[in-house]
Structure 1
């Protein structure tokens, strides 16, 4: 078993690509897996917390303060700026505007620590940003939803954010307890096995988010190509700009994690709380958005190794 997991860890980028391919090629399986996404995300977060450990994840109080400030910029300043920009362009009601505002308002995706590991960087700052960003989500979504009432009632999002926070506390708390009392000094072999499990878990999770992509490729290939190009450009630009600014501001050790959490957000959270008429037009955007997210280690791996 260890040999298999070690191989998955060594070839984590390929494992992610295989998960994307399965999600595209097997839309029926993707639909069937959607109800299980929350549980799979919890497992992924558990593995990330187990790998990092509570001491490294919590960090200094100064780090937590920086995480709060970063969450404010990423989850409030950026989406409000996008709302104003789309209003000026007359695109407030467009599907692309709805998606990008929601994406920018979301907390970092729970797979961020695993992406940091696959790019050769410390996963702890990314894990800390997930916890802080999700904890603040009930507050940060309020101005965004106030400026965009078409998204529905903020109360539903607050409820969903609370549920997600409970899931994060349960997953990370149990992992930290396990690490503190039974796995205090894991061997390199154990860490490698955890990394392999994490890569496989990420590949499985993405299948459930790709249900709209396969049909779009076959039925409306030009629309698919346009949406994919747009979300890739925004995702990668956000990552590169955020990481570069972080490095120039003196946060070189956290630059990679900051870039990863800036571009990769948990927009899937909003699937269960928004009106169906709002969700349907953006399903293709959400599915395509998984592609640059999961290709981050392959496309930006060299860039992040230079950070």
Structure 2
């Protein structure tokens, strides 16, 4: 089959293919460990492709009035954890799972949210802004919340995290600008192909995220299954909290986008900032939460289509 045709088919069935990405990481565990250094460049490529496909007029309009997006980012990082924390505590779950769910709710949005939001026909420009704002703000919100609610003393390097994100965004913007100039008027007709490339990158991205999962599944299958179920519940609850809270103030598409971004959190950041003495179950949760991140878009797509069609 022509590779171009294959990419176009992948782009048209993006949300269906995403869950199968996890199988690659589970099947190729040796490759998963070796592929960890690819995470950062893959994040840059994902953001670059999202920017290439993005409605830049919409993005410029949002940037002219950044206040609402900034407020939504703060609510995401502060209000959502305060709402879901007592819910998880009251359910009688494993203490380590409650801790992991709360830390996840405090984490920033994943950069790839802009890519998957475009597959779901949500507002990818708003998703991108929320991801960037939450990642820049999280050094100010995560340490005090983690210390207050969970007793974790997280010493996050503000300059280091901000510089890393600035490099990612700068490289992605530059790459997207070059691609858009190169494609010119062909940008619209190549959109499905670019979506297919994004799916391919997401599939490769899933491989290092599954590093060590098979070993933990063999050693503690019940706990892993419980953590995967909990991660689905955590992602859907954060999604629901923000979507319902913002629906009276935003149009439906924007509210659904805000909710979707609240569900998808950059849990891998926690691996870099948690103390060495942290419960290893939290790291198990970081692996488990990749399942809903890749599967929930396929589950929510019919619902979003129905809601957006009204």
What interval of TM-score do these two structures reach, taking the shorter chain for normalisation? 0.7 to 0.9
Q: Which is further off, 168-177 or 261-270?
A: 168-177
Report the CA distance between 1:98 and its aligned residue. Answer: 3.1
Q: Report the counterpart of residue 218 of structure 1 in structure 2.
A: 218
Asked whether the equivalents of residues 180 and 187 of structure 2 are also in contact (C-alpha less than 8 Å), the reply is no
Q: How does 1:96-175 map to 2 (within 5 A)?
A: 96-147=97-148, 150-156=151-157, 158-175=158-175
Distance between the aligned counterparts of 1:167 and 1:278, measured in 2?
29
Asked whether the equivalents of residues 155 and 273 of structure 2 are also in contact (C-alpha less than 8 Å), the reply is no
Distance between the aligned counterparts of 1:186 and 1:276, measured in 2?
50
Q: Deviations over 1:184-225 (max 9, x none)?
A: 544333211111111111111122112242223322221122
Q: Per the alignment, do residues 152 and 219 of structure 1 end up closer, same or farther by CA in structure 2, a change over 3 Å counting? A: same
Q: Deviations over 1:251-277 (max 9, x none)?
A: 213123112101001111121232233
Distance between the aligned counterparts of 2:90 and 2:295, measured in 1?
32
Q: How does 1:13-92 map to 2 (within 5 A)?
A: 13-52=15-54, 54-61=56-63, 64-81=66-83
User: Structure 2 length normalisation: TM-score?
Assistant: 0.87
Q: Which is further off, 42-51 or 178-187?
A: 178-187
Q: Per the alignment, do residues 90 and 12 of structure 1 end up closer, same or farther by CA in structure 2, a change over 3 Å counting? A: closer
Distance between the aligned counterparts of 2:137 and 2:85, measured in 1?
20
Task: Specify every segment of 5 or more residues in structure 1 that has no aligned partner in the other structure, as ranges.
Answer: none
Q: Report the counterpart of residue 302 of structure 1 in structure 2.
A: 302
Q: Report the counterpart of residue 207 of structure 1 in structure 2.
A: 207
Q: Report the counterpart of residue 10 of structure 1 in structure 2.
A: 12
Q: Per the alignment, do residues 180 and 115 of structure 1 end up closer, same or farther by CA in structure 2, a change over 3 Å counting? A: closer
Distance between the aligned counterparts of 1:88 and 1:260, measured in 2?
24
User: Structure 1 length normalisation: TM-score?
Assistant: 0.87
Could you say what the CA RMSD is over the residues aligned between the two structures, in angstroms? 2.7
Q: Per the alignment, do residues 229 and 142 of structure 1 end up closer, same or farther by CA in structure 2, a change over 3 Å counting? A: closer
Distance between the aligned counterparts of 2:86 and 2:196, measured in 1?
42
Report the CA distance between 1:44 and its aligned residue. Answer: 0.8
Report the CA distance between 1:96 and its aligned residue. Answer: 1.9
Distance between the aligned counterparts of 2:129 and 2:241, measured in 1?
20
Distance between the aligned counterparts of 1:204 and 1:298, measured in 2?
18
Asked whether the equivalents of residues 77 and 107 of structure 2 are also in contact (C-alpha less than 8 Å), the reply is yes
Asked whether the equivalents of residues 26 and 214 of structure 1 are also in contact (C-alpha less than 8 Å), the reply is no
Distance between the aligned counterparts of 1:152 and 1:183, measured in 2?
48
Asked whether the equivalents of residues 154 and 275 of structure 2 are also in contact (C-alpha less than 8 Å), the reply is no
Report the CA distance between 1:39 and its aligned residue. Answer: 1.6
Q: Which is further off, 119-128 or 194-203?
A: 119-128
